[in-house]
């Protein structure tokens, strides 16, 4: 099989891919539509990731590709219906990203509640004049009420960290009933009700049309002027314009973000919001996790090459 890997991988994943396939690697930039269409026509398999434009229009013409082994759990950059119609198997790398992503959520929670980004900016800008009893007073994590939107693998991992590490009271909203939890947690059937109950809300839902702008002006108002929002899901789960207004207008107390609606573009007014902690999509950015993601994609590719059902098929 002729394989295209759309971005550089870790050394471990690269060596394993080269050992099993005739592989080409692109540079570290996303595929645009024309490049994606060409790749689908020239390669037996593609290992893409977030940002590669595999929308409806990419699946046109005589396609050679038979498997898209996505590097990452989220597949909202791939038109799954179009791939399915073209006879292309699509897989992802779900559970290997859980711990690293949950860790980023906790880091954003701590940074946001303790105003760490504001403090670092003051220090780097030479504006720190020394310790003061009322400087940058934030909030403690311990014992606070956390609301998790989306109780899948990552949501559960966040809940365990919050409860076991900080004694937080865990509420969650999930569209289906969740019963297999190993910590005390309350499922709240109404999203707005849950948002009003919590000191800090963490978004851990999949991306896509079903969750686009799940958090808009009304939901931000429900979080309230003493509440905080953390997003480690997908950028467009939040109405970014509404969030910017909420941050500047005091509708919510602050936000911690690892994802954005139009990555890598981040609006200047969001950058200017002192009560926003902003990371450049670091959720899975550890050597171990990124290697496991590459190897999991390889497992899926090998299964298809050998005529087997891949373990992580999504289309």
Residues annotated catalytic, as ranges: 234, 263, 281
**Is the Cα torsion angle 33, 39, 40, 45 positive or negative in sign?**
negative
Distance (Å, rounded) from C-alpha 81 to C-alpha 195? 33
Cβ atoms of 143 and 167 closer than 8 Å: yes
CA distance 159 to 202: 10
Sheet with 2-5: strands ordered across = 22-25, 2-5, 45-47, 67-69, 89-91
Cβ partners under 8 Å of residue 308, min gap 6:
none
**50 Ramachandran zone, left/alpha/beta (phi>0; psi -120 to 50):** beta
């Amino acid at each position: 099989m002729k394989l295209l890997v759309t971005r550089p991988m870790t050394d471990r994943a690269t060596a394993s891919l080269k050992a099993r396939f005739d592989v080409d690697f692109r540079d570290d930039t996303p595929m645009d539509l024309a490049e994606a269409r060409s790749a689908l026509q020239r390669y037996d398999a593609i290992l893409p990731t977030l940002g590669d434009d595999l929308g409806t229009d990419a699946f046109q013409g005589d396609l050679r590709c038979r498997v898209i082994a996505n590097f990452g759990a989220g597949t909202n950059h791939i038109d799954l219906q179009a791939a399915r119609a073209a006879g292309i198997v699509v897989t992802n790398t779900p559970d290997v990203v859980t711990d690293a992503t949950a860790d980023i959520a906790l880091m954003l929670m701590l940074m946001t509640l303790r105003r760490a980004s504001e403090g670092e900016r003051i220090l780097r800008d030479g504006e720190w004049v020394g310790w003061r009893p009322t400087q940058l007073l934030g909030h403690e994590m311990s014992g606070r009420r956390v609301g998790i939107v989306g109780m899948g693998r990552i949501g559960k991992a966040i809940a365990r960290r919050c409860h076991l590490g900080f004694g937080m009271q865990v509420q969650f909203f999930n569209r289906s009933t969740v019963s297999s939890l190993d910590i005390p947690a309350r499922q709240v059937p109404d999203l707005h009700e849950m948002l009003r109950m919590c000191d800090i809300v963490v978004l851990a839902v999949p991306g896509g049309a079903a969750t686009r702008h799940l958090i808009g002006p009304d939901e931000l108002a429900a979080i309230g002027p003493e509440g905080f929002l953390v997003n480690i899901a997908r950028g467009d789960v939040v109405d970014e314009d509404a969030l910017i207004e909420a941050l500047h207008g005091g509708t919510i107390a602050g936000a911690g973000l690892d994802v954005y609606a139009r990555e890598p573009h981040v609006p200047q007014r969001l950058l200017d919001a002192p009560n926003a902690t902003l990371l450049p999509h670091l959720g899975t950015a550890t050597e171990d996790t990124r290697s496991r993601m590459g190897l999991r994609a390889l497992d899926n590719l090998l299964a298809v090459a050998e005529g087997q059902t891949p373990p992580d098929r999504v289309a």
